[in-house]
Structure 1
Amino acid sequence: MDVTRDGRSWRIGTADDVAWLAGQTTHGLSITTAIPPVFRAYATFYPPDGVSVEAHERAVVDELTRDTPAQPWWLGYLDTGAHDIVFPFAPTVSLYAGWPYVLVEAGPEQALTWRTGHMRGDGPLPDLFFPADHSWLVSALWDDAWTDIGGSTALITALHRNPLVSARPVGPDEDALPPGLTRE
């Protein structure tokens, strides 16, 4: 199925497009609750003090774009019933604990412009996104105020070193909660 936005058609994803992820995460507090244990490195991120959500999310996408050869990205919007999912009448795919996501094949520009706020704040980023080659995965779970990522060691290092991102590297069995945040 395709949907139209910005004067062009966009492909809506199916269960086949997330089969590599579905059922591969664990239950608990570790980063593998959001990111399957298939990557070389993991991190969590949250806007550092004094950095706007917009600057933070732009820096995240800039680092991901630098690390990724040109290819489509899959953007996933969790349908909570209370947040913008960009394509409200599109079919969904089920991930994690059976949560419905609208999944659309697009790219970094759309990741930064399509949405008008999410459950973590005012920024536009999707709740879940990854490139077609599955070289990294960014995911923010329904009840988390932060975002998790799995990818190459070089990508996690770049996100950690960028002062606008300040990602915190974690091991696959470590608690994903960033310092200074609490669980609700």
Structure 2
Amino acid sequence: MAGRPHADGASTQPLDVHKDGRNWRIGTASDVAWLAGHTTQGLAITTAIPEVFDAYATFHPPEGVGVDAHEQAVVRELAARTPEQPWWLGYLDTGAHDVVFPRAPRVSLYWGWPYVLVEAGPEQALTWRTGHMRGEGPLPDLFFPADHSWLVSALWDDTWTDVGGSAAVIAGLQRNPLVSARRVRPDEDACPPGLTRD
């Protein structure tokens, strides 16, 4: 099923793509309308995550923990606290990193950055690509469940990842030593101690 394109190339209807023996739905602007235009400019975590959640944190692989183990732990913690439902996976088109479906339409987020958005799940979040802006791991640059109960987002220039969700979701990420999330306030600089902005 093909979507009808706008003059700017954006699709107004869902588009299916094929991978792993099945069809996957590519997202449109309506699927990210809850996020688009609801972040702020600056250094706070609300640059990446809208101020609609109970709690916020940042994470990156702790010292001595490999990227794969870290990212698998992140997905396990999120999946354990999320009812069964699709997840939206967003791959930022930097021109240098795999977006999984290179011919798919993009959605525009943040400062007009183009993302391939696909409806899939936790398994695909951990298997569809290798290598992103933050290292050799598979994680999408942005992902969230269909009910919008949490959001994970890594901005183009950041070497860490931001997350917003319930207090229970954030506490689980904090407790897991393979994740080692650091809770931050919405108005707090999101850059974790010891890391720098590019």
Q: Give the alignment's TM-score, normalised by structure 1.
A: 1.00
SS in 2 for 1:113: coil
Matches within 5 A, 1:87-126: 87-126=101-140
1: distance between equivalents of 2:165 and 2:130? Answer: 27
Which position in structure 2 is the counterpart of 1:161? 175
Which position in structure 1 is the counterpart of 2:42? 28
Of 67, 73, 91, which aligns to 1:59? 73
SS in 2 for 1:29: coil
- Residue 77 of structure 1 pairs with residue 91 of structure 2: yes
- Residue 47 of structure 1 pairs with residue 80 of structure 2: no
Shift of 1:116: 1.6
1: distance between equivalents of 2:27 and 2:94? Answer: 18
2: distance between equivalents of 1:183 and 1:117? Answer: 19
Give unmatched runs, 5+ long, in structure 2. Answer: 1-14
1: distance between equivalents of 2:133 and 2:160? Answer: 10
Shift of 1:22: 0.4
Match for 1:113: what amino acid?
T
Give unmatched runs, 5+ long, in structure 1. Answer: none
2: distance between equivalents of 1:176 and 1:84? Answer: 26
Shift of 1:7: 0.5
Cα offsets for 1:105-149 (capped at 9, x unmatched): 000000000012101000000000000000000000000000000
2: distance between equivalents of 1:178 and 1:115? Answer: 26
Match for 1:167: what amino acid?
A
Of 162, 165, 183, which aligns to 1:148? 162
> Whose radius of gyration is greater, 1 or 2?
2
Of 182, 186, 191, which aligns to 1:172? 186
Shift of 1:183: 1.2
SS in 2 for 1:22: coil
2: distance between equivalents of 1:80 and 1:182? Answer: 20
Q: Please list every run of at least 4 consecutive aligned residues from structure 1 whose deviation after the TM superposition is greater than 2 angstroms.
A: none
SS in 1 for 2:170: helix
RMSD across aligned positions (CA): 0.4
How many pairs align? 184
2: distance between equivalents of 1:72 and 1:58? Answer: 18
2: distance between equivalents of 1:62 and 1:7? Answer: 24
Match for 1:35: what amino acid?
I
Higher relative contact order structure (alpha carbons within 8 Å, sequence separation ≥ 6): 1
2: distance between equivalents of 1:41 and 1:76? Answer: 22
